Amino acid sequence: MDRKTSVVVARAAGSAGSAGTVAAPADTARAGGAAGPPTHDYDAADVLVVRRPDQLKALADELRGRIVVLLRDQALSTTEVAARLKLPKGTVGHHLKVLERAGLIRVVRTRQVRALTEKYYGRTARLFLYESADGRNAEDVRNIVAVSLRIAAEEIPTLDPDEESHGCSGVLRVRLSKADARRFNRRLDRLMNEFRAADDPSGERYGLALAMYRRGDDA
C-alpha cells in the first residue's frame, strides 16, 4: 500500500531536510551579508548526524533550538545568550547544560572576569542532521521540524510591495511508493548540499526550508 507523504518547501530562512532526515533550525548555509566572509569565530565540524535519543530530545525543545541557532557562527556566554533571548541566566544555563551533555555544544573558550571564569559556548557542528529510522523518537523529530519551520517563518522579512520577491513556497500532499519516497529523499539531500555549496559571501541572504515526512494515517 502506498505511503502518505507530504513535502513542505519554503525558499525562505530556516531548515533543510528529507524523509527521515531533518536539518536543525535555521541551519542552512550562511548566505553572507552585503560583503565579507562568514563570521565564524570558532572551529567546528561541518556536519553532525544526530541519532541518539538524548540528542533528539534535547533539540526538540524550542528554547534549545533557538540557542543552537544563536551559537551557529559565534560563541556566546550564558550572560550573552540570556540577554539575546531576554531570559534569566539560570534558565539559559540549565538548557546550555542539557545541550552540552548531549554533545551538541561545547565550551570553545573561556575568559577571566574578576574571580570568575566565564565560559563561551559553540556548537559541535555547523549543521545538525537528524535521523530517526526506527520511529521510536518520532515525536521528538516532529517537534524539531515544527521548531525549525516556526523559526524560518520568523526570519522571513516583510517585503516592500514594490520589491520583487525571490521566494517560493508550497505544501504538497501525495501518496508515494517506497521506491519513490527514497528517490525524492535523495533528490532533496542533493538540493540541500547544492544550496550549501552555493554560499557566496557577497550575495544576498537566503535560507532554505525543506521537510519531507511520513504523514499520519489520519492526516
Domains plus CATH for the chain?
3-214 (1.10.10.10)
pLDDT at 173: 85
Tell me the pairing of strands 209-214 and 105-113. unpaired
Cell of 184: 525524492
pTM, 2 dp: 0.71
pLDDT at 23: 53
Query: Can you give the three-state secondary structure of 128-188, one letter per residue?
Result: EEEECCCCCCHHHHHHHHHHHHHHHHHHCCCCCCCCCCCCCEEEEEEEECHHHHHHHHHHH
Mean pLDDT (10-residue bins), the chain, 219 residues: 46 35 46 46 89 91 93 93 96 97 96 89 90 73 84 72 60 88 87 85 81 73
Q: What span, in angstroms and rounded, lies between the C-alpha atoms of 217 and 214?
A: 9
At residue 170, φ and ψ (nearest 5 deg) are -175, 155
pLDDT at 100: 97
Distances (CA, A) of 108 to 71, 74, 121: 11, 10, 6
At residue 196, φ and ψ (nearest 5 deg) are -65, -40
Angle (CA) 102-64-119 rounded to 5° is 70
pLDDT at 164: 57
Total residue length of the chain: 219
Cell of 172: 504538497
Contacts of 168 (CB under 8 A, 6+ apart): 9, 10, 11
Contacts of 114 (CB under 8 A, 6+ apart): none
